[in-house]
């Protein structure tokens, strides 16, 4: 579904990604793990059109999307849930979700997707008239994910969905990620919580200083001594 080949991305004079290649097959959950500042968020921003690669190719469903505007990429079927949630604080939950569907005009389908999001996240339905800025961190994360789903993506890019959440909520968010995947959405997940990420992923890539240094199935990475020492607390 997604094929990234040898992309380089610069922030000013700093090379943030150095020759990164990876692929994501339809129906998979693929996770990127690595320390803060390794380049994981930069990669997602490049895939969703917020940054342009200096070199390299990005193909989605066989078509090049490298450097295309973000709205074109959303229209093609890729939605991005950014790190830090970024909900529109002075708009209600419902208005935030409506914005997720702004490129669509199939009102029956949009109504269906509202129902689907409320089924996944009952808390959002309870709070649909509430201003998003007054929600807890966990509720804002649910809203950011729900808003991305309103675009009916084929591929969902999730950046640090568990960041700053209580352990119980982390469990809930990961259960919902699995459910979204079972419903047919392919997922590329960036996550600091390597344990949780590897427990739901099919495959994984380890990113260090802008390069992919290890890749394999989630089981292979869970069993790798190197990954255990660096990202799984050495056990």
pLDDT of 83: 85
Q: How far is 118 from 101, CA to CA, in rounded Å?
A: 15
Most distant CA pair in the chain, distance: 51
pLDDT tens profile 134-187:
999 889 999 999 999 999 999 999 999 998 888 888 998 999 999 999 999 999
Q: How many CB atoms lie within 10 A of CB 102?
A: 11
Provide φ and ψ at 40, rounded to 5°. -65, -45
pLDDT of 213: 95
Parallel/antiparallel/unpaired status of strands 211-217 and 203-208: antiparallel
pLDDT of 37: 86
Q: How far is 173 from 85, CA to CA, in rounded Å?
A: 13
* CATH 3.40.50.300 describes domain 2-88+154-231: yes
Mean pLDDT of the chain: 93
Domain boundaries, the chain: 2-88+154-231
Q: How far is 165 from 185, CA to CA, in rounded Å?
A: 24
With the CA atoms of 28, 149, 206 and 52 taken in that order, what torsion angle do they form, in degrees rounded to the nearest 10?
Answer: 120
User: Above 70 in pLDDT, residue 222?
Assistant: yes
Share of the chain above pLDDT 90, in %: 81
pLDDT tens profile 185-206:
999 999 989 999 999 999 999 9
pLDDT band at 12 (very low <50, low <70, confident <90, very high): confident
pLDDT of 19: 96
pLDDT of 73: 95
pLDDT of 234: 61
Could you tell me the pTM of the whole model?
A: 0.92
- CB-count exposure of residue 92 (10 Å: 0-12, 13-18, 19+): middle
């Amino acid at each position: 579904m997604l094929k990234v080949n040898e992309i380089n991305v610069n922030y000013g004079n700093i090379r943030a990604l150095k020759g990164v290649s990876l692929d994501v097959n339809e129906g998979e959950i693929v996770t990127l793990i690595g320390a803060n500042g390794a380049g994981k968020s930069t990669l997602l921003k490049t895939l969703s059109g917020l940054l342009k690669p200096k070199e390299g190719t990005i193909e989605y469903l066989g078509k090049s999307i490298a450097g295309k505007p973000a709205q074109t990429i959303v229209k093609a079927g890729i939605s991005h849930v950014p790190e830090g949630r970024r909900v529109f604080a002075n708009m209600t939950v419902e208005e935030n979700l409506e914005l997720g569907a702004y490129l669509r005009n199939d009102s029956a389908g949009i109504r269906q997707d509202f129902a689907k999001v409320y089924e996944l996240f009952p808390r959002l339905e309870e709070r649909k008239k509430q201003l998003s800025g007054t929600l807890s961190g966990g509720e804002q994360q649910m809203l950011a994910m729900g808003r991305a789903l309103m675009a009916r993506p084929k591929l969902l890019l999730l950046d640090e969905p568990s960041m700053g959440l209580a352990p119980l909520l982390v469990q809930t968010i990961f259960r919902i990620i699995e459910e979204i995947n079972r419903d047919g959405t392919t997922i590329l997940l960036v996550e600091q919580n390597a344990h949780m990420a590897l427990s739901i992923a099919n495959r994984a890539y380890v990113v260090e200083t802008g390069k992919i240094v290890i890749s394999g199935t989630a089981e292979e990475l869970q069993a790798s001594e190197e990954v255990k020492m660096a990202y799984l607390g050495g056990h």
